[in-house]
Amino acid sequence: MASPTGEETIRAYKLILARVVDKRPSGTRQRLADALGKHRSFVTQITSAAYATPLPAPHLPIVFSVCHFSPAEQQEFLAAYRLAHPGRLAKPVTGKRLRHLSIMVPDMGDEEKNRMFDQAIVEFAHKISLITGETEN
């Protein structure tokens, strides 16, 4: 029997991720996009086995926290991830749990300006958490 291809191994962990996300409440994909500082289309690409886009290793702690992976789900996912990306997880995946924060901000009247504003807020929150030692880079 032939060993799985790179695309097949990526598909395997994405199927696990999609299964976990699908069991979570409505809005989980948007919360994940917000936490990653990305568009929702990026979340679709990293959670859908139809796309070959790999999930970047630095995003794993955020994914595990926002999607509330159980220890068993996390272990299953990491086994598949390591098979798809040997050596990419040099150190254990850890991170403090995150919480979702909703705030009201002005509408800039332009989609691109709104996106840039939102990204600046996410980056600011991340930098503050780095300064306080609450997250890893």
pLDDT at 102: 77
Q: Flag whether 19 is in a domain.
A: yes
State how many domains the chain has: 2
Q: Are residues 82 and 110 in the same domain?
A: no
For residue 20, the domain's CATH number is 1.10.260
Q: Please give the residue range of the domain that contains residue 43.
A: 6-94
Percent of the chain surpassing pLDDT 70: 85
Mean pLDDT lowest among 2-16, 49-63, 90-104? 90-104
Q: What is the pTM of this model?
A: 0.68
Q: Flag whether 1 is in a domain.
A: no
Q: Span 100-111, mean pLDDT?
A: 86
pLDDT at 65: 86
Q: Are residues 19 and 55 in the same domain?
A: yes
Q: Flag whether 44 is in a domain.
A: yes
Confidence class for position 10, pLDDT limits 50, 70, 90: very high
Q: Span 111-129, mean pLDDT?
A: 82
Q: Are residues 86 and 124 in the same domain?
A: no
pLDDT at 98: 65
Q: Are residues 25 and 76 in the same domain?
A: yes
pLDDT at 92: 60
Q: Flag whether 123 is in a domain.
A: yes
Residues 6+ apart with CB under 8 A from 73: 16, 20
16-20 contacts, C-beta under 8 A, 24 or more apart = 16/73, 16/76, 16/77, 16/80, 17/46, 17/47, 17/55, 17/63, 17/67, 17/77, 18/47, 18/48, 18/49, 20/67, 20/69, 20/73, 20/77
Cα separation, 30 vs 128, whole angstroms: 22
Cα separation, 110 vs 95, whole angstroms: 35
Q: Are residues 53 and 118 in the same domain?
A: no
For residue range 59-100, list pLDDT tens digits in order.
898 899 889 899 899 999 999 999 999 888 766 665 566 666
